[in-house]
């Protein structure tokens, strides 16, 4: 920033240059126009300027004499501190203005808050045409911009100013007097660029004549305003800016500058509110199955009109036929908006599913059953899920059950991926399992023929009804086709019983008939080499292939052991003849029908 002493040093130079500049600047320069306003008829430009009384930090207060016997208190506050100067910097710049301010103490602000700077000018009551004088905004090489909460008009351009828009101004050592036409109670100034300092002061403009603005609102889309009180008119917008009557299509505060027959100019403003069409949108899924529902959404709408559908006078409407449909909404001011929607209705498709079982009909317990699904209108990737008694048991086109019980219910669900499938998910027919019990066979006892009898009756316990039975092999049985035949096999035999229920369910079980012959165990033999009674021969022992034979001395020493008895004992031990005497044997037949045999045998010579 430029030091304050530079600005003070420039004061006299700028004052001198401003005098020279006034003689040599072109006739249409804004400052020259200011001078011309000074020469306008007396009373055209009258401004009552503020007299400031107190400065404290970020606040300043003062008073403006309104010229009608009353005054208004003014208060200026900022979000940064400011002070004052005893006179307006480069006051001579404003000397050509028709109603220059008194060169008294005025606020001195540096806009030191930078970006986000805010200064609020408040009046104790509503005032008309507040005026702002700006002296030395910015400096050479440093541009400073101010924004305003209200639109302004230029009363005087002392140079160095760029009037960016109706709401902002940029200075590079700039000087100006601007006015905010209309009646207000406050004006807000925003600032962005700190600098050495700027003098500002406020006043109230007194119109040279009255300007009236009347407004005629059209039903929708435009508002017409008519200014009166002068000969020529200049608006800052609208369809006819050079006419007293002007039409506007956008809401905002508009300014008209009016000139009367004496050449005086007065600016006035009017807030123009243009009634615009409601903002309309239509929500919904416009492609559907059988029907679609659309909802028109519009602010302040009081009526709706569709060109079709079930409820054409409602915001929500349902359509059953493809086509382009338009809705028109109207608000309380008869402003209308319309929007079209392209509706596509697809025909509904009915999926179907059926299941079959193989084998079908009654089954025996434990028999696996394979269920197969056939369906239509399932789409590219139909989802099939099998249910057993309402519980999911897996996906796929088939399902095999191995643990069915009587009364189990098998079903299948199909979720179709065909667009507009109705219903999208459905359940197949039900197949109820008809499971027949398999007869059970148990044998409560062992069947033994031990030599004391020549036969035994087979008496199985059979649960459930049976239609037929068959024993195999049939040899040795009194009747293989009855449940309890008489068995008389020549040797131990395994008999298998097969029974079949009336439903055709069959089961088998096996019973063993043990045939045991009496052992003949001699208690002497004569191993003397005469080939007569040289070995210990035991009759019928050969039919027990798992038999073990052990022989002990009287002292418990084991002198013979064999598994099976293919080679009878010859009275030798380790290849040597045993002495004549008594020896003791243990014969274990390893047969559940026979007990262990024990006793003594004597060797004689």
With helix as H, strand as E and coil as C, how does 329-371 read?
A: EEECCCCEEEEEEEEEEECCECCEEEEEEECCCCEECCCCEEE
Find all residues with CB under 8 Å of 416, minimum gap 6, and list them.
349, 351, 377, 378, 379, 382, 424, 425, 426
**Do 225 and 129 belong together in one domain?**
no
- The pLDDT score that the predictor gives to residue 39 is 46
Q: Which two tokens stand for residue 203?
A: 């006043």
List C-alpha distances in Å: 530 to 379, 534, 580: 99, 7, 16
**Do 131 and 33 belong together in one domain?**
yes
- The pLDDT score that the predictor gives to residue 15 is 42
Q: Which helix (H) or strand (E) holds 415?
A: strand 409-415
Four-residue CA torsion sign, 243, 249, 250, 253: positive
Residues β-bridged to residue 106: 85
**Do 194 and 268 belong together in one domain?**
no
Find all residues with CB under 8 Å of 172, minimum gap 6, and list them.
138, 139, 140, 141, 142, 143, 144, 160, 162
**Do 26 and 142 belong together in one domain?**
yes
Last residue of a domain, one of 272, 289, 311: 272
Find all residues with CB under 8 Å of 497, minimum gap 6, and list them.
441, 458, 460, 469, 470, 471, 483, 508, 509, 510, 511
Number of domains in the chain: 6
3-class SS of residue 293: strand
Cα(255)–Cα(235) distance, rounded to whole angstroms?
A: 6
Q: Which two tokens stand for residue 4?
A: 């304050």
34 close to 86: Cβ distance less than 8 angstroms:
no
Range of the domain at 494: 440-515
543 close to 491: Cβ distance less than 8 angstroms:
yes
| pTM confidence score | 0.52
Phi (first) and psi of residue 315, to 5 degrees: -65, -35
Residue with tokens 């998910």: 425
**Do 314 and 447 belong together in one domain?**
no
Q: Which helix (H) or strand (E) holds 6?
A: helix 4-24
DSSP 91: G
- The pLDDT score that the predictor gives to residue 27 is 33
3-class SS of residue 523: coil
- The pLDDT score that the predictor gives to residue 43 is 63
Cα(222)–Cα(275) distance, rounded to whole angstroms?
A: 7
- The pLDDT score that the predictor gives to residue 9 is 44
- The pLDDT score that the predictor gives to residue 115 is 85
Cα(326)–Cα(346) distance, rounded to whole angstroms?
A: 20
- The pLDDT score that the predictor gives to residue 45 is 82
Cα(75)–Cα(192) distance, rounded to whole angstroms?
A: 22
Residue with tokens 């006892």: 445
- The pLDDT score that the predictor gives to residue 332 is 87
3-class SS of residue 239: coil
- The pLDDT score that the predictor gives to residue 30 is 34
- The pLDDT score that the predictor gives to residue 540 is 83
Find all residues with CB under 8 Å of 567, minimum gap 6, and list them.
none
What share of residues in the chain are helix, strand, coil (percent, to 5)? 5, 50, 45
Residue 597, domain CATH:
2.60.40
The total number of residues shown for the chain amounts to 605
Whether the ω angle into residue 359 lies within 30 degrees of 0, i.e. cis, is: yes
Whether the ω angle into residue 423 lies within 30 degrees of 0, i.e. cis, is: yes
**Do 256 and 116 belong together in one domain?**
no
**Do 364 and 336 belong together in one domain?**
no
Q: Which two tokens stand for residue 592?
A: 């559940």
**Do 62 and 81 belong together in one domain?**
yes
Last residue of a domain, one of 177, 206, 235: 206
Count of CB atoms situated within 10 Å of the CB of 300: 13
**Do 585 and 550 belong together in one domain?**
yes
Last residue of a domain, one of 399, 434, 469: 434
Q: Which helix (H) or strand (E) holds 204?
A: strand 198-206
CA nearest neighbour of 243 among 251, 252, 235, 255: 235
Region of residue 309 (phi > 0: left; psi between -120 and 50: alpha; otherwise: beta):
left
Residue 486, domain CATH:
2.60.40.10
509 close to 439: Cβ distance less than 8 angstroms:
no
Q: Which two tokens stand for residue 408?
A: 């189990």
**Do 257 and 166 belong together in one domain?**
no
439 close to 505: Cβ distance less than 8 angstroms:
yes
- The pLDDT score that the predictor gives to residue 452 is 63
**Do 550 and 583 belong together in one domain?**
yes
**Do 444 and 564 belong together in one domain?**
no
The alpha carbon torsion through 102, 103, 106, 108 (nearest 10 deg) reads 140
CA nearest neighbour of 563 among 577, 544, 578, 576: 544
Cα(148)–Cα(58) distance, rounded to whole angstroms?
A: 19
CA nearest neighbour of 487 among 453, 513, 461, 511: 513
Q: Within the chain, which residues score under 70 in pLDDT?
A: 1-43, 217, 451-452, 593
């Amino acid at each position: 920033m430029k030091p304050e002493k530079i600005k003070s040093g420039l004061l006299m130079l700028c004052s001198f240059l401003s005098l020279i500049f006034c003689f040599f600047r072109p006739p249409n320069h804004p400052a020259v126009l200011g001078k011309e306003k000074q020469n306008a008829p007396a009373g055209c430009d009258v401004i009552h300027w503020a007299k400031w009384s107190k400065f404290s930090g970020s606040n300043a207060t003062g008073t403006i004499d309104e010229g009608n016997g009353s005054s208004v208190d003014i208060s200026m506050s900022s979000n940064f501190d400011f002070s004052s100067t005893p006179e307006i910097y480069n006051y001579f710049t404003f000397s050509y203005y028709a109603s220059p301010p008194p060169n008294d103490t005025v606020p001195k602000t540096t806009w030191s808050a930078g970006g986000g700077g805010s200064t609020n000018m408040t009046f104790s009551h509503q005032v008309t045409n507040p005026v702002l004088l700006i002296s030395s905004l910015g400096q050479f090489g440093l541009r400073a911009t101010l924004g305003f909460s209200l639109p302004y008009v230029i009363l005087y351009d002392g140079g160095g100013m760029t009037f960016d828009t109706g709401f902002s101004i940029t200075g590079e050592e700039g000087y100006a007097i601007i006015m905010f036409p209309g009646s207000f109670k406050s004006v807000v100034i925003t600032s962005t660029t700190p600098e050495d300092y700027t003098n500002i002061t406020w006043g109230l403009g007194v119109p040279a004549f009255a300007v009236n603005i009347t407004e005629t609102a059209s039903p929708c889309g435009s508002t017409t305003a008519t200014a009166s009180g002068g000969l020529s008119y200049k608006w800052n917008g609208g369809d006819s800016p050079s006419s007293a009557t002007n039409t506007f299509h956008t809401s905002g505060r508009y300014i008209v500058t009016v000139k009367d027959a004496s050449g005086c100019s007065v600016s006035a403003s009017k807030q123009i509110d243009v009634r615009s069409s409601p903002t309309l949108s239509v929500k919904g899924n416009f492609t559907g199955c059988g029907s679609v529902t659309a909802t028109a959404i519009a602010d302040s709408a009081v009526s709706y009109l569709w060109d079709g559908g079930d409820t054409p006078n409602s915001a929500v409407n349902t359509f059953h036929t493809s086509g382009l449909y338009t809705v028109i909404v109207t608000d309380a001011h008869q402003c209308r908006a319309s929007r079209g929607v392209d509706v596509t209705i697809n025909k509904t498709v009915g999926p179907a599913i059926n299941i079959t079982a193989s084998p079908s009909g009654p089954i025996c317990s434990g028999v696996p059953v394979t269920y197969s699904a056939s369906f239509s209108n399932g789409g590219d990737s139909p989802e099939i899920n099998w249910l057993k008694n309402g519980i999911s048991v897996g996906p796929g086109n088939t399902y095999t059950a191995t643990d069915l019980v009587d009364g189990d219910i098998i079903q299948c669900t199909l979720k179709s991926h065909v667009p507009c499938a109705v219903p999208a998910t459905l359940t197949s027919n039900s197949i109820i399992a008809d499971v027949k019990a398999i007869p059970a066979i148990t044998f409560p006892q062992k069947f033994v023929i031990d030599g004391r009898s020549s036969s035994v009756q087979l008496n199985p316990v059979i649960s459930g009804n049976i239609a037929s039975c068959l024993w195999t092999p049939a040899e040795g049985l009194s009747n293989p086709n009855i449940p309890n035949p008489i068995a008389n096999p020549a040797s131990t035999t395994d008999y298998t019983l097969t029974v079949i229920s009336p439903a055709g369910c069959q089961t088998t079980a096996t019973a063993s008939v043990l045939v045991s012959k009496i052992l003949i165990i001699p208690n002497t033999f004569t191993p003397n080499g005469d080939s007569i009674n040289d070995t210990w021969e035991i009759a019928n022992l050969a039919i027990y292939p798992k038999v073990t034979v052990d022989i002990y001395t009287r002292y418990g020493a084991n002198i013979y052991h064999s598994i099976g008895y293919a080679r009878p004992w010859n009275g030798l031990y380790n290849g040597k003849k045993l002495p004549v005497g008594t020896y003791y044997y243990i014969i274990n037949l390893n047969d559940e029908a026979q007990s262990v045999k024990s006793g003594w045998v004597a060797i004689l010579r």
